[in-house]
Amino acid sequence: MPMGRLVLSLDLGTSSLKVGLFGVDGELRRAARREQQLFFPPADRVEQSPASTWRALAEAVREATVGERVEDIAAIALSTQRGTVVPLSDQGEPLSNLVVWMDKRGVPWVDWLQTAIGTERYYTAAGHPLVSYTGVSKVLWFRRESPLWERTVCIGPPQTLFLRWLGCEDFVCDRSSGTFHFPFDIDRQTWSTSLAACMDVPLDRLPHLVSSIDIAGQLSASAAADLGLQAGIPLAVGGGDGQLAALGCGVTHPGVVMVNIGTAAGVQIYLPSPIRDPRHTLNLAAHAVAGAWEMEGHTQSSGVALRWFRDEFGEIEQTAERESGLDAYDALVAQASNVLPGAEGLLFLPYFNGSAGPMVDLQIRACILGMSLAHKRAHVIRAVLEGISLEIRWMLDAMLALSGEVEEVRLVGGGARNDTWNQMHADILHHPVRILQVPDAAMVGAAMCAAVAIGEYADLTAAARAFVHPGERIEPDEARAAVYELVNDRFREAFRLVSNSGLFPWLQTAGDPLPAQAVM
């Protein structure tokens, strides 16, 4: 391969980070992965250590480039989680841990926004519902409640911080990340001056908005030493992991739908012009493709729900993975395959972190319904897998009701790695699904940004033709799909019943700390 014909993709996700070394022809040369650690300081707070992420990133970059000519790397690009915020000093150093998108400390400020601005006005301007998973409530928390605000020169998404650490001298983020960080004027794809004024957040504390394919700087000598690379490599901005995952599976034109199953799950379509959800629940956001938009809905806990089951109840499978290399997730799914569709009446509602759409209930929590003594561990695993897919189906149906027919559903992310679960997705979605040869689509999308940024392709649509490699097409089994139509109806009715019951706010108050004298 000629010199300078490699690009390095850094995908800093919530549950894991991935590093991919690609040829500019779109072929993945090598990849490495590391799990990310989440911290839960008090209840409903979720943080991540940027220093730990950097150390894991350094390990993964060295692994992905071992044996390769690092002098052939022509550009680096980032994919980063959205809705996560971090305050930065004048030197670009983090003043706190990353406050992860799942964090609930800003929920009271969501309530304040509903009163001060109103759901309809906010959604019409910004394209987002008033929920806690975007960055705005966390920005408001720092602005109004944290003493760190006085030292904060810029409050940005992780993209802003890690670009600084890589060598960018400015505070920047691209529009795909920015649209989930702070309210946009979504039609013009720039910060909303009117909403910022209502919130008393000075726009000069926000990063400068740039394009996903802009060059933001060059790899610094110190970062190059940490990562085992050469200094001076151009840094392409990249974008938010949701939009870059859409790039990485070819959602660069209407008619293709992405279902991305990671920590959460995202359903996304391409829009050449803005379409708003009249119920104000689905997100209208800036695409990584310049001058385009995307509509998406996302769950609050999908892959992380299965990870929770593995961590808390999968000791046998984890031990087997350590001893024999058999993937613990594959072992869990294999057990579920021995149970009939519908898990013999067992329903799992996967709302560990509330529901943000198409039905909004931030207080609902996960639950298992219908359990009897006849149910075994395999039934629970099956119900967990089905519940994740059923929530995605609800999101997909709501989106297609607004945007029309779909040519193809493309399934990506960690939840697209198992053939049995992929078939379950097809059966429950009642659509053919196609997996990709490289399921880590956000990693692919970042590599596309790097390749376009250095002029290898005219635009991201052209890059998609080289980088996106569709794989097997999986058709739904009509007999199982018919069963899942009934299960789907029951899932939605169960959600409505428990959501309207008032049970979860009551349970959460019942879990408040006891007085010291009451503790046994």
* CA-wise closest residue to 463 among 479, 443, 447, 483: 447
Tell whether 445 and 490 lie within a shared domain: no
- DSSP per position, 223-263: HHHHHT--TT-EEEEEEEHHHHHHHHTT-SSTTEEEEEESS
Q: If you write DSSP's letter for every residue of 112-132 in order, what string do you get?
A: HHHHHT-HHHHHHHHSS-S-T
Interatomic CA distance for residues 347 and 383, integer angstroms: 6
Q: Domain for residue 272, yes or no?
A: no
Do 50 and 126 lie in one domain? The reply is yes
Alpha helices by DSSP H, listed for 303-376, are 303-313, 315-324, 328-336
* Structure token digits, residue 466: 């080289």
Residue 365 domain boundaries: 313-401+418-433+473-509
The domain that contains 396 carries what CATH number?
3.30.420.40
Q: pTM of the prediction?
A: 0.85
- Looking at the structure, tell me whether residues 343 and 459 fall in a common domain: no
Residues 66, 186 within the same domain: yes
pLDDT, tens digit only, all 520 positions of the chain: 344 699 999 999 998 999 999 999 999 999 999 999 999 988 789 999 999 999 999 999 999 999 999 999 999 999 999 999 999 999 999 999 999 998 999 999 999 999 999 999 999 999 999 988 899 999 999 999 999 999 999 999 999 999 999 999 999 999 999 999 999 999 999 999 999 999 999 999 999 999 999 999 999 999 999 999 999 999 999 999 999 999 999 999 888 899 988 888 889 999 999 999 999 999 999 999 999 999 998 888 888 899 999 999 999 999 999 999 999 999 999 999 999 999 999 999 999 988 878 888 888 999 999 999 999 999 999 999 999 999 999 999 999 898 877 888 999 888 888 999 999 999 999 999 999 989 899 999 999 999 999 999 999 999 999 999 998 899 999 999 999 999 999 999 999 999 999 999 898 776 555 455 544 4
Q: How far is CA 187 from CA 123, 184, 478, in A?
A: 12, 8, 41
Question: What angle do helix axes 241-248 and 460-467 make, rounded to 10 degrees?
Answer: 60
Q: In this structure, are 237 and 325 located in the same domain?
A: no
Q: At 216, is the secondary structure helix, strand, or coil?
A: strand
Residue 258 within a domain: no
Total structural domains within the chain: 2
Same domain, 63 and 142: yes
